[in-house]
Structure 1
Amino acid sequence: MTTVDAERLRTALAGPEAAARVADRAAQGGRPAAVLIALAEHAEGTRIVLVEKDARLRTHAGQVAFPGGSIEASDASAVAGALREADEEVGLAPGEVEVLGVLPPAYVRASDFAVTAVVGRWPTPRPLVPVDVTEIAAVHSVAVDVLVDPANRLTWTHPAGFSGPGFVVGELFIWGFTAYLLDGLFDLAGWTVPWDVERVSDIPERFRIGRRR
């Protein structure tokens, strides 16, 4: 059963290992944005809050992601922006989250965002539903034990020639920037289990960027 070692994560997120995890995508511009990686502490182990984007969005349509979005002028910091977005999108209030640290901003080419990933403990989780129903189609709570299971890991490939680490959980296909962050977080937290990087899959149409109804 996977549990959160808060001190280990705080130390890792504040040290050079965190910067190294995103060095290949270090932001050199782009619009500032932030996402919240909420680690929900259930009796049966840690779960992660993920959202499924509405299929009608102009970018990232249908994709599985973390709650988050653009940092606004009224946000005091990237942390404040991530917490505000999580509240607006799924009703997870800032006061419910203990922030453990952040990953340095990483660039997302598809949306031209420089995204800061904020990692936090959620010690008293409860069911969440979409609040911003124009953007969020569903909220998922996925066990870390399921995500790190080698049977649920693979390398995705995109028709444009890109590839990266991915996860398959039931009907969900997690790829792109979200999977990239999960992969890095699991390494930092010491949760990674060796998996077969040679297991390759195309991205199902439902979860591929740019899908329209």
Structure 2
Amino acid sequence: MPRDASSPAARDQLRALVARAARSVTGAGSGVAGTPVGSAGAATPPGTRAAAVLVLFGVLDGAPSAHAPEAAVSRDLDVLLLARAATLRSHPGQVALPGGRIDPSDAGPVAAALREAREETGLDIAGVEVLGQLPALPLEYSRHLVTPVLAWWRRPSPVRVVDVAESAAVFRAPVADLLSPANRVVTVLSRDGQEWRGPGFVVHDPAGDHLVWGFTAMLLDGVFDELGWTEDWDRTRELPLP
């Protein structure tokens, strides 16, 4: 298929997802991953901190994925991710989407997500087309209410680790690789006598493999399901987390 053949289709699907999610807030009231949510911009519960992440899709600059997705998804489609520094107190070493807390000076979740992405990855936000925001999702462990901001990278710019104290790597993961059944796992975290299971994605990067799990994996898994991109994979394949 031509290099950018399905990019407009992917962008349109993402925009339609935002519209459906907005309708669900005033209707059924469930989010992308089936989690009850409040309306975008609603006041956060006491003790909860508002945050936002940028879910930035675009077209890879380099070689496309070797996996041909079952859905009409270009092998060049990618999503921007980063690996948090191992020395951080909160979620050390985890793969995440660019983002962070919404500051009082931010105009809202969109402004916060773009600001954080620029600060963390050096992203030129002038080349980013914001498609809209999904309903906020609770991150109970750290008591955050996180608004995902979907965006399209219409003019890709170089990205990098801006602050080594914050990030260990910044990379663009091919969506086709994330969809590949060979790269899907169920992550299992045992802590304090309790067990947490969730979706996981293995990302193969020239600089080293990454495991996407936790909130980021849950969000991407929900987005892929809603878009009809998810492929059948072996849900008995478990990966215990340290």
Deviation at 1:26, TM superposition (A): 3.3
Check conservation: 2:80, 2:171, Cα contact below 8 A: yes
State which of 12, 17, 40 in structure 2 corresponds to 1:12.
17
Deviation at 1:20, TM superposition (A): 3.4
Deviation at 1:25, TM superposition (A): 5.7
Amino acid paired to 1:39: F
Report what 1:209 is aligned to: none
Check conservation: 2:31, 2:37, Cα contact below 8 A: no
1:167 aligns to 2:228 (yes or no) = no
Q: TM-score, normalised by structure 2?
A: 0.78
Report what 2:51 is aligned to: 33
Check conservation: 2:60, 2:172, Cα contact below 8 A: no
- Select between 147-156 and 8-17 the one with higher mean Cα deviation: 8-17
Deviation at 1:38, TM superposition (A): 0.9
Aligned ranges 1:47-196 → 2 under 5 Å: 47-160=78-191, 161-170=195-204, 171-196=209-234
1:44-83 alpha-carbon deviations (Å, 9 max, x no partner): 4111110100111111000000010000011111001000
SS state of the match for residue 82, structure 1?
A: helix
SS state of the match for residue 159, structure 1?
A: strand
Aligned length: 204
How far apart in 1 are the matches of 2:164 and 2:135? 29
- Select between 40-49 and 89-98 the one with higher mean Cα deviation: 40-49
Deviation at 1:169, TM superposition (A): 1.8
Q: Which one has a bigger Cα radius of gyration?
A: 2
- Select between 167-176 and 53-62 the one with higher mean Cα deviation: 167-176
State which of 60, 69, 82 in structure 2 corresponds to 1:42.
60
Amino acid paired to 1:195: W
How far apart in 1 are the matches of 2:228 and 2:33? 17
How far apart in 2 are the matches of 1:73 and 1:11? 30
Amino acid paired to 2:229: W
Q: 1:58 to 1:72 in 2, by over 3 A?
A: same
Amino acid paired to 2:32: R
Amino acid paired to 2:94: Q
Check conservation: 1:54, 1:135, Cα contact below 8 A: yes
Q: 1:48 to 1:69 in 2, by over 3 A?
A: same
1:133-183 alpha-carbon deviations (Å, 9 max, x no partner): 221111011100100000000111101311111011232111000000110
How far apart in 1 are the matches of 2:210 and 2:106? 32
Q: TM-score, normalised by structure 1?
A: 0.88
Report what 1:211 is aligned to: none
How far apart in 2 are the matches of 1:144 and 1:23? 22
Check conservation: 2:189, 2:197, Cα contact below 8 A: yes
Give the gaps of 5 or more residues in structure 2.
Answer: 39-43, 65-75
Higher relative contact order (CA 8 A, sep 6+): 1
How far apart in 2 are the matches of 1:147 and 1:133? 26
Check conservation: 2:33, 2:223, Cα contact below 8 A: no
SS state of the match for residue 218, structure 2?
A: helix
Give the gaps of 5 or more residues in structure 1.
Answer: 206-213
1:106-146 alpha-carbon deviations (Å, 9 max, x no partner): 11122111000111110232431111322111101110010
How far apart in 1 are the matches of 2:36 and 2:83? 23
Identical-pair percentage: 42
Amino acid paired to 1:114: L
